[in-house]
């Protein structure tokens, strides 16, 4: 069908017109409530579709639709939809002659432009134009147009709304700036007091609004929108909702590890040549899944993820927010900090957690790690909870503590020391990543002292210490990464690039390395 309404090209080339914004304005005034960008997109499509239907109907009403099988008389008005709706008047009808066809007619038509053209009429054989439908089909309704082109139209519409000062948004909802209810300083002070009494929060917008006096004639959706807009623009408040609705927290009462990136997690980007990494190294990088790794690969949707706990996250009571882990956590909100709920998968106890998007970590596990005896290298199993905003977390604890021979790191006189000692363990762990740290405070102090030491020099010191623990004097890159991160936050790629470029190291295969020394 050639109607513009059903022409995919028309919707693919969609651009927002002033009439669209005028329609949205009227729509918001009439509904008296904020609307999501999805709702506004559907409304624009519906209005455009309706306009196009009316335009085509008006055009086709100006004359008979031309069909080769129909007969026409002199003076009759005819419209030609297949010729961009040209309109003309029949000025002559005469018999047609073609031995291949039965009797038919030829009509001469004067177009509105004055041009005279001839067309076949009264044709008894089949012709595509005899069956053509020029009015929009009910099979292509606005919701189907939205299904085909909604995402593209939504993006275009959102961009237009963001550039227009007449509209403002809270999350994914939009309303007219001039109609938003102004919240007084006193009302915002009430919100602060309520959150303070709740230990900082979080509280839903409805809970805050319930304690305020607002004009009853204003619809509640607009009241909520107005309060949320005011809270978003007041630095005392933080929107931390995980999904579906806003949750508010007093910024000053958020945990320090949420407001400020814990020291062990702070990474200063290190330049390196990524082209030096071979496929074995890249595979290890994907396996480690460090949140600062510069990798992009297709993710398989997963409801469960296992993390090998590194020292920086064990020390900070956090988890890495790598792309693989992030797919489980609420990260779709535009705010930087998101509060959600952890649930111990075994004991079913809950405790608060925080996603810090800018720092690429998840905070709130320090007490849980301590309670269950977690150590560097243990497996942390994550799964989506039964409710939105709930993440199940599990350590593979053993029935009884056992003692294992583990590589152990201590410090002395500004040096890092390595030995193998028997350590009680309470959880299953990755043998390549595990390392015992009897005095983490001393390790952190040494890390501060070694800040100015180059990555190459620090890596050499660690490598030689680890090599001394093995008869073969071989060190696996996973182990090297794990121990290196006791003293400096480094994702695997810069470390692997040093191994690949330095003549001091030789690859033994399967990510094992040996120290060659000066060449």
In this structure, the answer to whether residues 421 and 489 fall within a common structural domain is: yes
Q: How confident is the model at residue 53, as a pLDDT?
A: 78
- Judged by DSSP in three states, 346 sits in coil
Whether residue 267 lies inside any domain: the answer is no
In this structure, the answer to whether residues 157 and 13 fall within a common structural domain is: yes
Four-residue CA torsion sign, 80, 83, 85, 89: negative
What pLDDT, in 10s, does the model give residues 181-235?
999 999 999 999 999 999 999 999 999 999 999 888 899 999 999 999 999 999 9
In this structure, the answer to whether residues 289 and 435 fall within a common structural domain is: no
Confidence bin at 133 (pLDDT 50/70/90): low
Q: How confident is the model at residue 131, as a pLDDT?
A: 77
The b/e string for 427-451 (b: 16+ C-beta within 10 A; e otherwise) is bebbebbbbbbeeeeebbebbeebe
Strands (E), 463-504: 474-476
Q: How confident is the model at residue 333, as a pLDDT?
A: 61
In this structure, the answer to whether residues 124 and 237 fall within a common structural domain is: no
Give the count of alpha carbons within 13 A of 206, CB side only: 3
In this prediction, residues 458-467 reach a mean pLDDT of: 95
In this prediction, residues 444-473 reach a mean pLDDT of: 93
Q: Which of 203, 185, 186, 206 is nearest to 194 (CA)?
A: 203
CB atoms under 10 Å from CB of 83, counted, come to 13
In this structure, the answer to whether residues 151 and 168 fall within a common structural domain is: yes
**CATH number (domain holding residue 87):** 2.30.30
| pLDDT: which is higher, 493 or 333 | 493
Confidence bin at 381 (pLDDT 50/70/90): very high
Whether residue 236 lies inside any domain: the answer is yes
In this structure, the answer to whether residues 479 and 507 fall within a common structural domain is: yes
Q: How confident is the model at residue 135, as a pLDDT?
A: 54
Report helix angle 220-232 to 185-197, nearest 10.
80
What pLDDT, in 10s, does the model give residues 50-82?
887 777 777 777 888 888 999 999 999 998 877
> How is the beta sheet containing 247-250 ordered, strand by strand?
203-204, 247-250, 237-239
Whether residue 354 lies inside any domain: the answer is yes
Instruction: Report the DSSP pairing between strands 474-476 and 203-204.
Output: unpaired
Whether residue 260 lies inside any domain: the answer is no
Residue partners of 380: CB distance under 8 A and separation at least 6: 306, 307, 308, 309, 319, 374, 393, 394, 395
In this structure, the answer to whether residues 390 and 420 fall within a common structural domain is: no
Instruction: Report the DSSP pairing between strands 397-412 and 167-170.
Output: unpaired
Q: How confident is the model at residue 519, as a pLDDT?
A: 47
What pLDDT, in 10s, does the model give residues 389-411?
899 999 998 877 788 999 999 99
Report the length, in residues, of the chain: 519
Whether residue 259 lies inside any domain: the answer is no
Q: How confident is the model at residue 307, as a pLDDT?
A: 97
Confidence bin at 429 (pLDDT 50/70/90): very high
Percent of the chain with pLDDT over 70: 95
Q: How confident is the model at residue 368, as a pLDDT?
A: 97
- Considering 147, 174, 201, which residue would you say is the last residue of a domain? 174
Confidence check: pLDDT of 449 > 60: yes
- DSSP for 422-452, written as a single string: EEEEEE-B-TTT--B-S-HHHHHHHHHHTTT
Whether residue 268 lies inside any domain: the answer is no
In this structure, the answer to whether residues 408 and 394 fall within a common structural domain is: no
Q: How many domains is the chain partitioned into structurally?
A: 5
Confidence check: pLDDT of 373 > 50: yes
Distance of CA 394 to the CA centre of its chain: 26
In this structure, the answer to whether residues 393 and 404 fall within a common structural domain is: no
Confidence check: pLDDT of 138 > 70: no
In this prediction, residues 4-20 reach a mean pLDDT of: 74
- Considering 354, 373, 398, which residue would you say is the last residue of a domain? 398
Whether residue 264 lies inside any domain: the answer is no
Whether residue 120 lies inside any domain: the answer is yes
Domain residues for 108?
68-131
Q: What does pLDDT average to over the chain?
A: 90
- DSSP for 79-120, written as a single string: EEGGGTSEEEEEEEEEEE--TTS-SEEEEEEEETTS-EEEEE
| pLDDT: which is higher, 144 or 458 | 458
C-alpha gyration radius of the chain: 35
Q: How confident is the model at residue 166, as a pLDDT?
A: 95
Cα→Cα distances 312→82, 183, 231, Å: 70, 43, 34
**Helical (H) or strand (E) element with 154:** helix 142-162
In this structure, the answer to whether residues 79 and 121 fall within a common structural domain is: yes
Confidence bin at 5 (pLDDT 50/70/90): very low
Confidence bin at 418 (pLDDT 50/70/90): very high
Structure tokens at 66: 């031309």
In this structure, the answer to whether residues 363 and 432 fall within a common structural domain is: no
In this structure, the answer to whether residues 304 and 209 fall within a common structural domain is: no
- Judged by DSSP in three states, 352 sits in strand
CB atoms under 10 Å from CB of 300, counted, come to 7
Q: How confident is the model at residue 2, as a pLDDT?
A: 43
**CATH number (domain holding residue 383):** 2.40.330.10
Cα→Cα distances 282→288, 319, 370, 463, Å: 10, 22, 33, 20
Report helix angle 492-501 to 279-288, nearest 10.
160
Q: How confident is the model at residue 130, as a pLDDT?
A: 83
Confidence check: pLDDT of 4 > 70: no
Distance CA 514, CA 465 (A): 12
**CATH number (domain holding residue 212):** 1.10.10
Distance CA 219, CA 179 (A): 12
In this prediction, residues 293-307 reach a mean pLDDT of: 85
Q: How confident is the model at residue 178, as a pLDDT?
A: 94
């Amino acid at each position: 069908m050639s109607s513009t309404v059903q022409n995919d090209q028309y919707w693919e080339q969609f651009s927002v017109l002033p009439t669209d914004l005028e329609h949205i304005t009227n729509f918001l005034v009439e509904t008296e409530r904020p609307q999501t960008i999805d709702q506004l997109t559907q409304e624009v499509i519906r209005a455009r579709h309706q306009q196009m239907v009316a335009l085509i109907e008006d055009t086709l009403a100006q004359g008979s639709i031309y069909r080769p099988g129909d007969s026409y008389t002199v003076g009759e008005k005819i419209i030609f939809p297949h010729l961009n709706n040209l309109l003309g008047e029949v000025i002559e009808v005469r018999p047609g002659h073609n031995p291949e066809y039965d009797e038919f007619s030829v009509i001469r038509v004067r177009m509105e432009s004055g041009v005279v053209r001839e067309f076949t009429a009264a044709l008894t054989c089949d012709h595509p134009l005899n069956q053509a439908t020029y009015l929009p089909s009910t099979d292509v309704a606005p919701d189907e147009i939205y299904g085909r082109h909604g995402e593209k139209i939504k993006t275009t519409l959102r961009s237009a709304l963001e550039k227009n000062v007449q509209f403002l948004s809270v999350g994914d909802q939009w309303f007219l700036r001039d109609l938003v209810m102004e919240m007084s300083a006193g009302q915002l002070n009430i919100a602060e007091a309520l959150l303070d009494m709740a230990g900082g929060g979080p509280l839903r917008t409805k809970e805050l609004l319930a304690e305020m006096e607002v004009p009853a004639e204003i619809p509640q959706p607009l009241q909520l929108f107005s309060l949320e807009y005011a809270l978003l623009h007041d630095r005392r408040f933080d929107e931390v909702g995980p999904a579906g609705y806003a949750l508010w927290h007093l910024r000053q009462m958020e945990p320090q590890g949420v407001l400020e990136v814990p020291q062990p997690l702070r990474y200063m980007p290190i330049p390196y040549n990524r082209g030096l990494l071979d496929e074995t190294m890249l595979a290890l990088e994907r396996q480690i899944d460090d949140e600062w790794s510069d990798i992009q690969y297709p993710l398989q949707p997963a409801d469960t993820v296992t993390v090998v706990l590194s020292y920086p996250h064990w020390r900070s009571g956090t988890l890495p927010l790598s792309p693989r882990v992030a797919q489980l956590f609420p990260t779709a909100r535009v705010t930087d900090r998101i509060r959600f709920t952890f649930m111990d998968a075994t004991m079913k106890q809950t405790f608060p957690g925080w996603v810090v998007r800018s720092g690429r970590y998840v905070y709130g596990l320090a007490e849980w790690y301590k309670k269950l005896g977690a150590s560097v290298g243990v497996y942390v199993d994550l799964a989506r909870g039964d409710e939105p905003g709930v993440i199940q977390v599990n350590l593979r604890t053993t029935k009884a503590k056992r003692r294992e021979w583990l590589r152990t790191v201590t410090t002395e006189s500004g040096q890092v020391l390595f030995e193998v000692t028997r350590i009680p363990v309470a959880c299953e762990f990755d043998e390549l990543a595990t390392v015992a740290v009897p005095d983490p405070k001393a390790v952190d102090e040494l890390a501060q002292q070694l800040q100015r030491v180059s990555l190459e020099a620090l890596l050499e010191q660690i490598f030689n210490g680890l090599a001394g623990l093995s008869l073969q004097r071989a060190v696996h890159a996973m182990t090297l990464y794990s121990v290196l991160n006791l003293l400096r936050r480094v994702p695997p790629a810069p470390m692997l690039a040093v191994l690949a470029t330095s003549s001091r190291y030789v690859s033994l295969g399967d990510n094992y390395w040996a120290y060659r020394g000066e060449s």
